[in-house]
Structure 1
Amino acid sequence: MSNDNMPGGAPASSHQPLDLAKFTLSSPAEIAQHLSGIAKHGHMVTVFANKGKNFILTRLLEVDYQMGLFTFDWGSEEETNAQLLNSERNVFVCSPEGVKTQFVTGQVGKVMLEGRPAFQCKLPEQVIKLQRREFFRIQTPLSSPVFCHFGDYGQRAIDLALFDISLGGMSLWLPGLDTPGFDIGQQYRQCSIDLKSYGTLSLGLEVRHRLTARMRNGNDAMRIGCSYLNLTAPMETMIQRYVGFLERERRAMVG
């Protein structure tokens, strides 16, 4: 599995470490402005707590630059909310406008906002902004394969099995090394991916790279990496939920 560098309890990266300095915001004003934009546009945010053992999906609600605080939405499961309140270090990850935002905070507290509970926390000292290629990627399970249906593949449709998926894109297996089409830069607009109980994505894909890889049976196969076209906020949420599910499954299997 190919993953990002992620502080806290998230998996380590398999590629070369990034020079994160050039991707880091450290000015309090810049940090507050960036987080305010995330709150304004309602982007989904994943918060990993307790060394990555727990996570919630939430949205930022308010950013108070003068007080150095921000609030975010209360979760739907009270047990998870309680675990987050007890967590001393938390990792926030989201992807506003196609750029992954990641930051670490200390312990969060509970406040009432417009008559409803919410979490409150000090603004982070640093915020890391990474490009799409640095998204956290996770392999889809062989026991329950996921397929992408290409409705506009030449004169007929074709289904390709996913190898991995992230908020930045996905990679898929071609049925043979000489499969026509799927050249770098080629776009397919009529794609649908069935993410099981999490829903079906209907969007476009653009081929960004091709890679010859050795499969478990020893045969060579072609894998293509694709980025999303016209990804909407609900689709982003669907992918986040599915990736979170796969990560929980992976953690359960490794102990």
Structure 2
Amino acid sequence: MNYQELENWHDYEVESRREILALLRQIGEKHELVRLLVKGESDVCVTAILDIDPDSDTMVLDRSVDLLQNERILEGGKLHCETSLDKIRILFSIENLRLVEFEGSPALRADIPPTLIRLQRREYYRMETPVSNPVRAVIPLPPSAVAGAGSGVFPLRDISCGGIAVLDNQLQLATATGTTIPNCRIELPETGPVTVSLQVRNWHDLTLLNNKSNRRVGLQFVDISRAGMAAVQRYITRLERERNARMAGLA
């Protein structure tokens, strides 16, 4: 998760204090792990919710086993968290962290977040894109790729509201996790181009049915606009309708 995601997903924001308390309590009761981003993906503490106290409007989390990391957490100000509940992604921010004793052991206390993001399963459900008429992404290439080539055109393998996967059969794209590529353009049929920055999240090499090799690169949306996200959602909905029609024998 990058720090801009909480803003990108404000359409899924939960503001009801009663619902927020219920969700956080369930996360704690089901012992779901919580990723606490101290300094982005480079410094992550895996913790858990130990207690919810509505009277003091605070929550208690397990502290890090790394004492230096605990110091960074306390100095971090507003920190971002990511967890899940029943396979639904939950994002929220916490602040005013302090060390406390909880049931005889050191722990962290923080203010209960005023809002959180609750993403239903379908928001990150990946839809495969057509092979016969592939959607294409125009992505700027690193200087080391091909001399004089500014951008490359890559067919999409799949798409979700969180990002895309492209096929890179000439191995032109950077593959270092966390590399952010600005000014990428995704050409969505009947919708038009969506311009967005993409961050490399993963990659792996594939062997196709014809024994040729290819590379799948997973890319996460970084700063997609509301209009861009709406376009992506419309395209995914269209793909779902077409798939359902084929399955029903109507297309």
TM-score using structure 1 length: 0.49
> Measured at CA, do residues 82 and 42 of structure 1 come closer, stay the same or move farther in structure 2, by a change above 3 Å?
same
State the alpha-carbon separation in 2 of the partners of residues 84 and 30 from structure 1. Answer: 26
Pairs within 5 Å for 1:161-240: 173-178=205-210, 221=214, 223=216
Question: What percent identity do the matched residue pairs reach?
Answer: 19
Consecutive aligned runs of 4 or more in structure 1 exceeding 4 Å deviation: 50-53, 134-138, 222-225
Rg bigger for which structure? 2
State the alpha-carbon separation in 2 of the partners of residues 61 and 137 from structure 1. Answer: 36
Structure 2 residue 98 is the aligned partner of structure 1 residue 109: yes
Structure 2 residue 42 is the aligned partner of structure 1 residue 43: no
Structure 2 residue 107 is the aligned partner of structure 1 residue 121: no
> Measured at CA, do residues 26 and 116 of structure 1 come closer, stay the same or move farther in structure 2, by a change above 3 Å?
same
State the alpha-carbon separation in 2 of the partners of residues 136 and 83 from structure 1. Answer: 30
**TM superposition shift of 1:172:** 5.2
Structure 2 residue 22 is the aligned partner of structure 1 residue 33: yes
CA RMSD of aligned residues (A): 3.6
> Measured at CA, do residues 115 and 19 of structure 1 come closer, stay the same or move farther in structure 2, by a change above 3 Å?
closer
TM-score using structure 2 length: 0.50
**1:7 aligned partner, one-letter code:** Y
**TM superposition shift of 1:89:** 1.1
State the alpha-carbon separation in 2 of the partners of residues 47 and 87 from structure 1. Answer: 11
Contact 2:207 2:213 survives alignment (8 Å): no
Contact 1:25 1:128 survives alignment (8 Å): yes
Which of these residues, 84, 91, 94, is aligned with residue 80 of structure 2? 91
Pairs within 5 Å for 1:7-26: 7=3, 18=8, 20-21=10-11, 23-26=12-15
Give unpaired runs (5+ residues) of structure 1: 144-162, 166-170, 180-218, 226-255
State the alpha-carbon separation in 2 of the partners of residues 77 and 136 from structure 1. Answer: 33
